[in-house]
Chains A and B, each alone.
Chain A
Amino acid sequence: VADCGSLRPVLQAYLDGECAPDERHEVEAHLHSCQACLDGITRASWEVGLILLAAPLTPAVPRTRSVTGPSAGFAGRVMDRVRATPRDAAPVETPEAPAPGGRAAPAPPDESPGAPHAVPAEPSGRILRPAPAMAWRTWAGLAATAAVAAAASFILLRGEPRPETPSSRNLEGRGVVVARNGGVLRWKDRTQFDLGLAGSVWIAKDDSSPTLPGEFLHSSAPSSVHMQLPGGGRLTAGPLASLAVGEGDTVALLDGALTATAGPRGPLVVETPAGRVETKGAVEVSVRTVSDTRTGQAWLGAWTSAGAPGGAPAAPAPAATVAVFAREGSVEVAASGPVRNSLERHTLHRGQALLVVDAKVFTFGAVDDDAPPEHASALAGLPVPPGSLFLKAPPAAPAPPPPPPGGIGASGPVRNSLERAMAEVTGDPGTRAYALSVYDGVGGAEAVAAAAKAVEDPAVLVRSTAVRVLALNASADRPKALAALRLLAKDVDEGVAVFAIRALMALADRGALPILQNMVVDDDAPPESGAAPVSVQVAAFQALVHFGDTSRFAAAASRLTRLDTSREPGATLQQTVATVIQRLPAEKVRELLADPRPALRAAALEASMDVEAARTALGDASPAVQMAAARVLLTRQAAPDLEVFRPLVERDTLARRDFLQILQSVSRPTGLPPVPDWLREAAARQLSDPASRETDVRSAAFLLRQAPPPGLFEGLLARGTTAQKLGIIADGDPAPGLLLAALADPDPLVVEKVASRLQVLAALPESRLATPILEEALRAFAPRSLRQAQFKALALGIVGRDRTSAAAVATLVGMAQSSLVQDRRAAPYGLGPLGARAEAAAALEALLQDGDREAAENAGDQFLRAARRPGWAGRPPAEIFSLASPHAVVRAQAALAARNAGAAGATEALVRELAAGGSAARLRILERLEAFGRPLDAAEPSLLRDPEPAVRLRSLLVLEGAGRDAAARSLAADPAFWVRATALALLGKSGDGASLEGLRTLVGDQVSAGLRVDPLLAGLDPEAEALADAVLASARRALSFPGPTLRPVDASLAYESQDLANRSNQRRLCAQLRSAPDAALRAAAAAGLREAPAPDAVPALVRAMDPAAEAEPLVREAAAESLNRLLGFDPKPDAKSWWEAHRGGFVAEQDLEVLARDAR
């Protein structure tokens, strides 16, 4: 340790941030060990505070100007920009009214001064509007001027070269740019670029070049645009939208989303390549469209040369009307104003039309034969072909109740019903949470604003949904989102608080550090009434360590003694403490080994893995330290024999449990050391204890498996608790006869465990279990769930193939022909490996035409595999690809198998299925194509316009060669992050440097917007050429976490949020489990309940396990699994895995909504 006196000058340099790196390390090491110097440093920083305070009081101090400073002309350049920039219109408060503490505090930089997200103020009234009758060409001329301004501003943004800053005054002189806050063209997040441009086309081809009038334009800015329309209307275009403005309030939206309000001088018309939206009256619509860029360019060219239609409506229209027709592709539309309740995010597909008149509620359905004749006149001018689907007026809907006083006011493109739902805090929390999730679908600042208001909602469900919405939309209004999340981090509900802290961590909010620091309190300190629950403290500490702040290390680590580190939150705390200790210098770790706090001694010991220290620590007074010593000695195989641990094991049941677990974990790979009798007795006691958890039984059974005490396993398998049975089956390796007997156990969990072990037994040599016995056991086994049936089929497949058992194949064929759906769904798993046997191949082919979709798709997957193997005994795939299955995916699977076999016409058949399918079917087909087939040469065009981003992304990934490059070019401006990034990455890998540059900018923009992008990208040097490869890998990863938009946030965050939504949704899930009409929905609810206990979860699950109350085995099994999990047995696969295994889907809020809708 360095001497304090000699370090003094270095300490001064350290304080001033002028240390060399090696000196800094020396100082930091010293400060760790020297409280006096640490105090001195802190005190010295206060002195600096006083010097700064004194500076203005010190008269006539000569200032030196000749030292380092900005370049010549800097002040002039800044003042040019200042003169071109209006000040915000915030009211000025004078310091005469000081804040508590003596004075008014200036706002922190990331709130007021930084405010890059400020919403433009209302127009000031000094607007110079172009004449309403101005023709498009004239309009485009103005646009060109605006284009120059926009392009110049981008040059400014890029910083190279540096032209004269465009001045709004100069442009105003030409009559183009209006006064500030008039028609506003504003790039959010880029405060430098804030020029007022009235009624112009939004123009920016790329970041550097000017554009020509009428040219197709697209901005790569991740921002929104607010624009005044020529006819008096207004629009807000979403980030990355491509649009043009014609005469009147006519807008051509090529790509992306916009929200527009009709002006007083005429209807608002939004033309998209997919169709047309026309509104009359005071209606605000949101329109979203996705277009192929090249086709779109041609379309936009035709649109501009033909002139925008505009003009007066053909027939008198009611006060508020929305008429939409989807000519090709799909249009998503939402509205506010009188019809907002009628139009909550409808998607119109090809050929569909929609009409809303006088705020009446309409639904999708059949042809509206009964529509009043005047409705038809409102459609005049729309190119609606005969036979189109129309909306049908429903029976008279009750008028919605008025919003309660004090509710949330309406503004922006929001819907009355959502606002009302959010304001009714005494109503159903599920409704408010759903409303919030709809806001999430809208996205952007609006979603953040709605979620921020929900921070004080009384319902946990709503607040937890708010966390998700805030986390996923934070980039739209980061200050507001972070402020709300910081409040939620202090929520009274642990789940909400923990997730809010994780969100702050993911969003890299270092401003939350003081809040997090205050949360972590010392366990040794007297309990404080306001202390956060332990799980929250652990999350806060984890976040602090993530940010590199270890100031609360001692306080957090002191909690370890009282926490069970085999489960949460103890496990996380132990891991985080170990992380910190591993970063400490060795001498500091040695000091911790002598720390008075046992938890710290134990953690330091485990982090150091020091054998000598562990030997010494075996004599420590603390059991926790002794246990840590045992772990070190056993892991390093440094214990002479197990005798030295006897006092520890015989101390109490907790110590015995921990020791046996350690012994199991370290012995599993290497084998057990000789086990003394006293330890066998201890293990037998633990095994026989009905209170033992499954993990405890497993560690005891593992120890005893070589020579179990006579009758112990048999007795417990017959009469033990579920935990005992499961533990023995898993790790006790009981005799085969015992195992088969357990197939008759009344507990489905036990049966499933045995069934899964049967697969292992089937694969072992016959000497372990004779084939006839196995055949008979499997034949007699009647599965009670799909999962059990799958195990049975798999075991039969293995016996049939490896032991050439005809009886097993016959049993499998019987399953394939069973009247039970679960048997038919499971049979393909066994039949697939038996494709070389004619009867199995025939059964598999027959299943391809099964009426049950899942059975047929499972058969399709196995067929795809089996038909590629040599010796396939069925018909050649080329003969059966024109299969008459009712399921699109199955037809595509057959076509894919035929294509793999080189059959003519198979590719065309596959592409036909892709073209005709909906998004969900397309996604499943593309997944198969990626897994089993060769890439395609060219993309089916409609795939690239599919509204589901995952379809567009997968379409890119299944292409190769020129077709892939063409598709990538058309998706290089896609609104979904991963689609766009993948397109740019593929182009970049094909040698397109500009795309690689675009990719770097795209990823860089996400980082600078404060989003934590996928971890694979986060740590990458943006210069690295590996970026394209990393993007491709990350995009594939993102596909495994389904989401509505494939947003660029870390996918695990999105998954975690869905998981949280499930966990916080328990009450709703309980209701669903009790009363949902659809068995799949009830099963999903049961699976969702496993994540965390709710007060009424256990009774609901128990009821659902009772065959008298619940007829569907699928639901009973899911309920049993969840209950098992809740009661602390061996953790089963999480909800996601379970759902994937059973339904090929994903248990999430959205899925439940979809299921519920279908069920209705």
Chain B
Amino acid sequence: VGTEDQSDLVRTAQQGAEPEAHRAFAALLDRWQGPLFRFVRSRIRDEHAAEDAMADAFVEAWKSLPGLRDPAGFRPWLFRIAWTRILRWYEAKGMRAELTLVEKELLDEQTAWAPAGVQDDLREALAEMPPADLHLLLDKYEEHLSYKDIAERDGISVSTVRDRLVAARDRLSKVLQRAGLLDRFARELELRRKHRRGERGPGRG
């Protein structure tokens, strides 16, 4: 589902009459249930509990959908709801959970949308990437497949998956650096985050 398609689905699910809204939400559910399940499952080892938490997250998302202001931000928004569920599950056990760096990106709304200029540059830069590398990276970070998932699917060892990811990341890094995108993205990200902190309040004094 591309950005525009997904945004349309989200809008229909938000505002549409019931049969259409339900159909649109079912499409979103179909698109994201796999990644979301794997994300939740990576934290909640009990498969049934993970599935319950994910189902709750989807129902909560459906309920709260009218409050989502930017349809393009659906993916991180949904994952944040799921993360809240995971946190509650941990709290009920008297434990805590923390996000990894990668998961923080996954939940950050800034990674769901970029200005048009950045989008074009990014698309252009990624065209230089070998398709297999790109697929591997997307399987890992968008689809949230584990090393084991990929290894079993491709019939290779877990360490090979890891090595391939290292290589793919190296190539990606070079491509992004050549296009000056990483620094630009990092700067922009930091600016936006700073701005967001500023919005929350000027601090003391």
**A interface with B by C-beta (< 8 Å):** 8-9, 12-13, 15-18, 41-59, 61-71, 74-75, 77-79, 81-83, 85-93, 95, 100-110, 112-116, 159, 191-192, 487, 490, 492, 497, 508, 510, 514-515, 518-519, 529-532, 536, 547-548, 1004, 1007-1008, 1010, 1018-1022
Contacts and interface: CB of A to CB of B under 8 A. Distances in A.
25 contacts: A8-B166, A16-B102, A18-B146, A43-B173, A50-B182, A50-B185, A51-B138, A51-B141, A51-B172, A53-B112, A53-B122, A54-B123, A54-B126, A57-B122, A67-B145, A67-B150, A90-B64, A95-B69, A109-B83, A110-B84, A112-B64, A113-B81, A492-B204, A1018-B94, A1022-B93
Contact of A1010 (B91, B119, B135, B181): B91
B156 interface: no
Contacts of A15: 100-102
- The residue among A54, A61, A90 with the most chain B CB atoms within 10 A of its own CB is A54
B55 to A, nearest CB: 5
Contacts of A114: 60, 64, 81, 84
Interface of B: 1-3, 6, 14-15, 18, 21-22, 25-26, 29-30, 33-34, 37-38, 41-42, 47-48, 51-52, 54-56, 58-73, 75-77, 80-81, 83-84, 87-88, 91-94, 96, 98, 100-106, 108-115, 118-119, 122-123, 126, 134-135, 137-143, 145-147, 149-150, 152-153, 159, 162-163, 165-166, 169, 172-173, 176, 181-182, 185-186, 189, 191-192, 195-197, 199-205
Contacts of A71: 47, 51
Given A17-B42, A530-B204, 16 more contacts: A12-B165, A49-B108, A53-B185, A58-B126, A67-B152, A67-B153, A81-B55, A83-B18, A87-B63, A92-B68, A95-B72, A101-B192, A106-B68, A113-B60, A532-B204, A1010-B91
A48 B76 CA distance: 13
B163 A109 contact: no
Given A88-B63, A92-B14, A51 B137 contact: yes
A46 B75 CA distance: 17
A1055 to B, nearest CB: 23
Nearest to A1020: B94
Given A1008-B88, A1020-B94, A106 B166 contact: no
Main secondary structure of the interface of A (DSSP, over half): loop
Nearest to A549: B98
A69 B33 contact: yes
Nearest to B50: A70
A98 to B, nearest CB: 8
A725 B38 CA distance: 71
A514 B196 CA distance: 11
B63 A191 contact: yes
B133 to A, nearest CB: 11
A75 B29 contact: yes
B62 A530 contact: no
A600 B189 CA distance: 33
A8 B170 CA distance: 11
A982 B22 CA distance: 47
B113 A107 contact: no
A52 B134 CA distance: 11
A529 B204 CA distance: 9
Given A70-B33, A109-B81, A113-B60, A45 B182 contact: no
A518 B191 CA distance: 16
A115 B84 CA distance: 11
Contact of B69 (A49, A106, A192): A106
A546 to B, nearest CB: 11
Contacts, number: 307
B28 to A, nearest CB: 10
Given A49-B110, A64-B143, A518 B197 contact: yes
Contacts of B25: 79, 82
A103 B201 contact: no
A91 to B, nearest CB: 7
Contacts of A74: 33, 37, 51, 55
B140 A16 contact: yes
Contact of B185 (A49, A65, A1008): A49
Contacts of B135: 61-62
Nearest to A12: B166
Nearest to B108: A49
A519 to B, nearest CB: 7
A90 B62 CA distance: 12
B122 A54 contact: yes
A171 B172 CA distance: 56
A728 to B, nearest CB: 44
A56 B6 contact: yes
Contact of B134 (A42, A58, A112): A58
A1128 B77 CA distance: 53
B102 to A, nearest CB: 5
Contacts of A81: 55, 59
Contacts of A1018: 94
Contacts of B110: 49
Given A12-B165, A53-B112, A192-B56, A490 B203 contact: yes
A530 B3 contact: no
Given A9-B163, A83-B22, A78 B29 contact: yes
A947 B101 CA distance: 52
A1053 B61 CA distance: 34
Given A530-B202, A532-B204, A113 B67 contact: yes
Contacts of B70: 95, 103-106
Contact of B111 (A53, A102, A110): A53
Given A45-B102, A75-B29, A113-B68, A191 B60 contact: yes
Given A93-B69, A492-B205, A75 B33 contact: yes
A589 B103 CA distance: 30
B96 A510 contact: yes
B50 to A, nearest CB: 8
B195 A100 contact: yes
A618 B107 CA distance: 51
A650 B102 CA distance: 56
A108 B162 contact: no
Contacts of B149: 67-68
Contact of A57 (B29, B67, B126, B139): B126
B111 A52 contact: yes
A495 to B, nearest CB: 14
Nearest to A50: B185
In the A-B complex, the 6 residue pairs with the smallest Cβ-Cβ separation, listed nearest first, are: A109-B80, A45-B101, A530-B205, A113-B64, A56-B3, A1008-B92
Contacts of A85: 59, 62-63
A1147 B144 CA distance: 57
Contacts of B112: 52-53
Contacts of B33: 69-70, 74-75, 78
A50 B162 contact: no
Given A50-B122, A107-B69, A490 B201 contact: yes
B105 A78 contact: no
- The residue among B71, B98, B102, B118 with the most chain A CB atoms within 10 A of its own CB is B102
A1 B14 CA distance: 54
A41 B80 contact: no
Contacts of A115: 64, 67
B105 to A, nearest CB: 4
Contacts of B141: 48, 51-52, 55
B114 to A, nearest CB: 5
A102 B195 CA distance: 11
Contacts of B41: 68
B142 A106 contact: no
Given A48-B102, A85-B63, A115-B64, A106 B109 contact: yes
A79 B139 contact: no
A531 B204 CA distance: 6
A603 B18 CA distance: 64
Nearest to B31: A63
Nearest to A66: B153
Contacts of B139: 64
